[in-house]
Chain A
Amino acid sequence: MATSAPAKSNQMSLRITPKAKQIIEQAATIAGQTVTDFVVATSTEKARQVVEQHRVLTMSQTAFDELAAVLDGPATLPITPLASKLIGEYADSTQEDGTLDW
């Protein structure tokens, strides 16, 4: 299924030393990318890593309290048809020794 690419509607501008700009341009040339594509790709990759390693998600006190209340409640969520089917299959394909034969 093809999903449409989000439009690149946002702009970022930043100041940079001539030396830094030169090495980025050089690297982009070597990578065969435009400077923009190179900068976006490399900084996005780095940003994802940082976000992934930062395992603290902040939320408003209201949302936090709401979630805490939800979490304290008993199990009530109805199973979905897909989960029901797959959990059953998972159980059926678990062997005596604990390995799975899907």
Chain B
Amino acid sequence: MVEEADRETAADMNLFLQRYAIEQAKKGVSRTYILRDDNTTDSGRVIGYYATSVGHLIPNDIPKVVSSRMTIPVFLLLRLAIDKDFQGKGYGAKLFIHVLHRLVRLAEETGIYALVLDPLNDHVRSFYEKFGLRPLPGDATRMYIRMRDVEAWISQNSQK
């Protein structure tokens, strides 16, 4: 049974892809990657997608001393969604691994420290916990992982 919250989320995820993904990419607001099914007769069908961007974490008090670090630049995973017909097959995890590989490369070039995301519910939260993401200090609704840790994982586990 599809509950109301899931329906709203699904509608929102579809709407984003149909209406906003291209617009945001053109404006430089976010970038969307799509996972397509090229193997079956249903060639070209969208299995899932994700959208990333860059943001800043800032302290809400004005610092008393001017520190060298006024903001923390972070990658944001705005959305990651799998079509309901393809859910439960591991595509979400694969897409997230693609996110991590892509962002590690970008982190090397930009010095961005962490990936931050905002899980929609506890089910999504436990998905990201399996990848080592932890609650963001001071804001347990969000989760983060350090790019440095992911970079180490990839370099240690990618030897052929």
Contact surface of B with A, Cβ cutoff 8 Å: 1-6, 8, 12, 15, 20, 29-30, 53-61, 63, 69, 71-72, 74, 76, 78, 93-94, 97-98, 100-101, 113-114, 116, 121-123, 130-132, 136-139, 142, 144-146, 148-149, 151-154, 156-160
Contacts and interface: CB of A to CB of B under 8 A. Distances in A.
Contacts of A75: 146, 148-149, 151-152
A61 B152 contact: no
B54 A6 contact: no
A52 B160 contact: no
Contacts of B101: 90
Contacts of A76: 149
Contacts of A61: 59-61, 63
Contacts of B97: 83, 86-87, 90
A80 B130 contact: yes
A77 B158 contact: no
A6 B59 CA distance: 31
A92 B72 CA distance: 34
A82 B57 contact: no
Nearest to A66: B137
21 contacts: A2-B2, A45-B12, A52-B78, A56-B71, A57-B57, A57-B58, A57-B139, A58-B58, A64-B59, A64-B138, A67-B136, A68-B72, A71-B72, A75-B146, A79-B156, A86-B94, A87-B97, A87-B153, A87-B158, A90-B98, A91-B157
Contact of B131 (A1, A4, A83): A83
A82 B78 CA distance: 22
Contacts of A6: 5
